[in-house]
C-alpha cells in the first residue's frame, strides 16, 4: 500500500502546476526548482540564475542537510513520505554503525576512565561512524530516493509526444525504485534491531556511551553541510560574477564540489 501511495504521489507531482508545462509544445522551460538551477550549464546560469550567494547556499542546505531536506524543503520533486523514512533510517544507521565501533579496546578505555565520557578517545570513532553512515545514506538517496532528475528529464522534452512517452517510462522506473527502497528499508531496520538488541543485552553497561556517541555522530552529520557548502557557494558565485576567461571552468568545479 505504501508503494502504491508513493506511485500516486509521484503521479500528482507530474501533474502539478509546474509539470503541466511538460506536455506543452514549448521547446524550453524556465527552471523553477533548486535542482534545476544548481545544474544549469554555465551559459544557462548566466541567463536564468539571478540568485544571491545566500539563495544559492540555502538551496544547497535544503538538498544536503537531512533534517531540512526532510521537513523544510518543498521546492523539489521528491516524495515527502520517503524523505521521512530516510530520516529515521539515518538515525538507525548511525546507531548501528556506532555500535560496530565498540570493541574490547573501547570497553577497556571506559573502565580506565572510570565510567567518564572520554571525548578525545571517542571523537575519531564518532567521526568515522558519521562519514560511513553519510556515505551509505548518500548512495541510497542517489539511487533509490531522489526523483528530481527523472522529472526534470520529462519536463525538458522538446515535444508533447516525447514528454508523454518519457513520463510513462519514468513512472515505471520510480515505482520499481520505491518498491526496492521499502524492501531494503525494512530489511535494514530488521537487521539493525536484531544486532542492537543483542549488543545492548550483552554490553549493558555501555548503552549510555553508545547513545551519546550516536547523538554526537548524528549531530555532526547534520551540522557539517553548513560548513562544507560554503566552498561551492564561493566558487560558483565568483565564477558567475567574474570577468575572468576561466570562469566557465570554475563554475564546473563548483558543480563538482556541490556533490560532496
Write the pLDDT tens digit of every residue in 105-119. 888 888 788 778 888
Q: What is the pLDDT of residue 27?
A: 38
- pLDDT confidence bin for 88, thresholds 50/70/90: very high
Q: Report if pTM > 0.85.
A: no
Q: What are the distances in angstroms from CA 249 to CA 39, 142, 177, 226?
A: 14, 25, 34, 24
Q: What is the structure's pLDDT at 93?
A: 96
Answer whether residue 115 is part of any domain. yes
Task: Report if residue 72 sits inside a domain.
Answer: no
The number of folded domains in the chain is 1
Inside any domain, residue 14: no
> Is residue 5 in a domain?
no
Domain assignment of residue 186, yes or no = yes
**Do the beta carbons of residue 57 and residue 233 sit within 8 Å?**
yes
pLDDT over threshold 60, residue 222 = yes
Range of the domain at 198: 77-223
In a domain, 88, yes or no: yes
pLDDT at 18 over 60: no
188-213 pLDDT, tens digit each: 999 999 999 999 888 887 888 899 99
CA–CA dist 136, 225 (Å, integer): 16
- For 196, the grid coordinates are 542492537
Q: Would you say residue 89 lies in a domain?
A: yes
251 within some domain: no
Amino acid at each position: 500500500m505504501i508503494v502504491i501511495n508513493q506511485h500516486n504521489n509521484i503521479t500528482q507531482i507530474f501533474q502539478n502546476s509546474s509539470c503541466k508545462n511538460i506536455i506543452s509544445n514549448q521547446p524550453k522551460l524556465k527552471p523553477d526548482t533548486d535542482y534545476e538551477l544548481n545544474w544549469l550549464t554555465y551559459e544557462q546560469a548566466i541567463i536564468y540564475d539571478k540568485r544571491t550567494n545566500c539563495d544559492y547556499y540555502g538551496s544547497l542546505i535544503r538538498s544536503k542537510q537531512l533534517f531540512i531536506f526532510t521537513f523544510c524543503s518543498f521546492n523539489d520533486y521528491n516524495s515527502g513520505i520517503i524523505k521521512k523514512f530516510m530520516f529515521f533510517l539515518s538515525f538507525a544507521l548511525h546507531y548501528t554503525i556506532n555500535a560496530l565501533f565498540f570493541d574490547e579496546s573501547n570497553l577497556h578505555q571506559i573502565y580506565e576512565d572510570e565510567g567518564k565520557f572520554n571525548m578525545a578517545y571517542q571523537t575519531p570513532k564518532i567521526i568515522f561512524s558519521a562519514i560511513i553512515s553519510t556515505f551509505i545514506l548518500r548512495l541510497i538517496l542517489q539511487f533509490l530516493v531522489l526523483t528530481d532528475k527523472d522529472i526534470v528529464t520529462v519536463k525538458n522534452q522538446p515535444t508533447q509526444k516525447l514528454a508523454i512517452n518519457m513520463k510513462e517510462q519514468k513512472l515505471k522506473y520510480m515505482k520499481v525504485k520505491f518498491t526496492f527502497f521499502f524492501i531494503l528499508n525494512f530489511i535494514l531496520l530488521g537487521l539493525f534491531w536484531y544486532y542492537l538488541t543483542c549488543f545492548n543485552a550483552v554490553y549493558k553497561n555501555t548503552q549510555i556511551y553508545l547513545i551519546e556517541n550516536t547523538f554526537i555522530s548524528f549531530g555532526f552529520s547534520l551540522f557539517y553541510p553548513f560548513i562544507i557548502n560554503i566552498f561551492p557557494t564561493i566558487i560558483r558565485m565568483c565564477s558567475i560574477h567574474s570577468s575572468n576567461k576561466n570562469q566557465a571552468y570554475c563554475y564546473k568545479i563548483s558543480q563538482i564540489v556541490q556533490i560532496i
